[in-house]
A and B are shown apart, each in its own frame.
Chain A
Amino acid sequence: MSNLNVQNVNGQDADAGKARVYCNCTASAVVNNSLNISSVTDHGNGYGNTFSFTNAMTDAEYISTHWGKMSGGSYGAPWENDSWKSAGSYRINYSNHNPTTITIGEAQRLNIIVMGDVA
């Protein structure tokens, strides 16, 4: 697996305690930052966020690694300096209805490993 794609979703350093997503892609055709995010949707505490991508993914399988508790706001939340729920279980769902969307539940600070091709 190559670490070809590093996407900082809010353009701020992770040390600032902001949500951040790393996408590691296996496909050789994938170039840096090819999984660009178009938007993040906050579905509420405990409901997770949906990350939508500008590119489409094919044959994708998603594995996440939890980083730990957020210390600040999240990209998905337009409200700064709010405390977020603590570390816990998480889930990632591939939306069959939109091939450019994944939903991340519960944990707000994740390392996303995308294994699969980018269309």
Chain B
Amino acid sequence: MTDLSHLKLYERLELAKDQLEPVQSDYRVVFEADLDNPASVLVPDPNWMACALHGGILPSVEVYHQLETDENERITNGYLLHETTPVGPMTEEEAIEYLVQKDMPVHVWQQGSANAKRMVICRKKQLPASREWRDAWKINQDIQFKEIA
């Protein structure tokens, strides 16, 4: 695709959906936003992932944090999504980090020092194969992390 930065975000997304092959990521993000509830599992959308890997379509993730709403919860500066220069191609790992900051509660990924592990990026096959005890899922605090990229 050619330079799409002059288009609005939803126009860029529409073109991308027509022209890019969806990419189903094998990554999953397990997180605990509320210790009283079971662990949540975030799954990237294949079309979104294709946009992230291609580049030139999505705004920087900071733009989403800059969105403001009025007293009626209407977004007052949605133009930022459309007018901000799109970011370049991401690796799959960078795209997951983007999603973490965009779609997950801030208090999960922006925590300072804490004893409890509240977020784990893993592969699909590392999740339980059965949902039988789904509501009892918690992050194993003995888990050992390693770099994935």
Contact = CB atoms under 8 A, between A and B. Distances in A.
Given A45-B131, A45-B135, A59-B72, A78 B45 contact: no
Nearest to B95: A38
Contacts, number: 133
B54 interface: no
A78 B43 contact: yes
Given A37-B48, A54-B58, A42 B78 contact: no
Contacts of B51: 54
Top 8 A-B pairs ranked by shortest CB distance? A119-B78, A34-B10, A52-B103, A44-B38, A38-B48, A58-B74, A37-B45, A41-B42
Interface residues of B, number: 46
Contacts of A30: 10
A86 interface: no
Interface of B: 9-11, 13-14, 17, 22, 28, 37-48, 51, 58, 64, 67, 69, 72-75, 78-79, 81, 99, 102-105, 124, 127-131, 134-135, 137
B127 A46 contact: no
A40 B17 CA distance: 18
A103 to B, nearest CB: 11
A12 B99 CA distance: 23
Contact of B127 (A58, A79, A98, A99): A79
The range of chain A's interface size is 35 or more
5 contacts: A37-B45, A42-B43, A44-B38, A56-B78, A119-B78
A11 B17 CA distance: 11
A119 B131 contact: no
Contacts of A37: 45, 47-48
Interface of A: 9-11, 30-34, 36-47, 50, 52, 54-59, 75-79, 82, 84, 94, 96-101, 118-119
A58 B76 CA distance: 8
